Every structure is written in C-alpha cells, then in structure tokens.
Amino acid sequence: MLALLLLVSIAVAVWVLNAPAQRFLPSFARLLADPVVEGGAWSLLSGRSTASGTFGGRDVTILLKLKRGRHDQGYLVVAMRTGGPAGLDAAGVDASASGDAARRALFELARHDLRLRVDDGWLKAVWQPQGFVIFPGRFAESRWRDVLQALHAVAASLDAVPHG
C-alpha cells in the first residue's frame, strides 16, 4: 500500500511540474489562424510536440522540445514560410533583411534571445535559454505575438531578396 501511495505521489508531482509546459504550446497556437496542435501520450514521454497554422497569411510551424534527460536541453522553434532564399545563417538573414520594419523586427527578435536562420524556405527562430531558467515557463501572449509579428516582417523582407 505504501509503495502504491509513493508511486501515485511521484506521478502527481511529475504531472504538476510538467503541466505548465504542456499548456504552453496550445496557448501559443491560439495566436495562429486554423491552429492544429499535435501531442498526445508520446509527446508527454518524448517532450516533443508541434503546432501549426497561419499568421498574417503565412504558414507557421512551432516545435517545442522539453528537457527530458540530465544532458538534454529544451528548445522552441518558431518557423514561418518565406518565399525568399532557401538557406541563410543568422548573418545572412541580418544582411538580407532590409527596410526599417525588418531592422526593427530583427532588433525585437534579438531582444527575445532568438537565433534566426532560413532552411528550405522556412525562417526559423530558435529559443534555447541557458542557465537556470524554467523552460518554457509561463506563456506570455504579448511576447509571442510580438515575435510572430517580427518574424512576419523579416519574412516579408526576405521575400524581396533575389534567389535562384
């Protein structure tokens, strides 16, 4: 009986500690039009879940990877479709994005500690906090709406970049 009580106590503790992280992605997805959140039992075990939808007419995919092991790191990737160059590193994104709106957007994204790159036509913002941070923490709608708006401005700027 004591073993069963201990097991239930551990399960409840894990759930309580994990619950805010499980609410983060569905909360984020509410900022998107036509959101689809993929999770489930495997997501709870693997710590990996995704959401997709559109923002400002652009396809968006969000990947949340929670820390699951001692040497594992959590991260969040917010990807927005762009018609610009197929691949750029952070310096390439910085050099290619032009105009006042894009420059302000790049500043906003840097302010939120997001690293940018473009892979296969997706502008990706990666957030992987280091040190003692409760990841992903409580969802802040204004912060992530600002991030989506900034990504949209950068993606629009990249659309104008010749590629081939």
Instruction: Supply the CATH number for residue 80's domain.
Output: 3.30.1460
164 part of a folded domain: no
Q: Which residue has the higher pLDDT, 83 or 10?
A: 83
The answer to whether residue 154 is domain-embedded is yes
Residue 9: inside a domain, yes or no? yes
Within-domain flag for 106: yes
Strands in 58-65's sheet, in edge-to-edge order, are: 33-38, 48-55, 58-65, 75-81, 122-127, 115-119, 87-88
Per-residue buried b or exposed e for 140-153, using 16+ beta carbons within 10 Å of the residue's own CB: eeeebebbbbbbbb
- Residue 25 in domain: yes
- Domain hosting 46: range is 2-159
pLDDT, one tens digit per residue, over 81-130 is 998 888 899 999 999 888 899 999 999 999 999 999 999 999 999 998 87
The pLDDT of residue 34 = 94
Domain count, the chain: 1
In a 13 Å sphere around the CA of 29, the CA atoms on its Cβ side amount to: 20
Q: Is residue 122 part of a domain?
A: yes
The whole-number pLDDT of residue 122 equals 96
Q: Provide the pLDDT for residue 103.
A: 95
Q: What is the pLDDT of residues 46-95, one digit of tens each?
A: 678 899 999 999 999 999 988 766 666 889 999 999 988 888 999 999 99
Q: Is residue 112 part of a domain?
A: yes
Cut 0.85: pTM above it: no
Please state, in angstroms and as integers, the Cα–Cα distance from residue 80 to each residue in 11, 39, 49, 59, 122, following that order. 36, 20, 17, 6, 5
Asked if residue 144 has pLDDT above 60, the reply is: yes
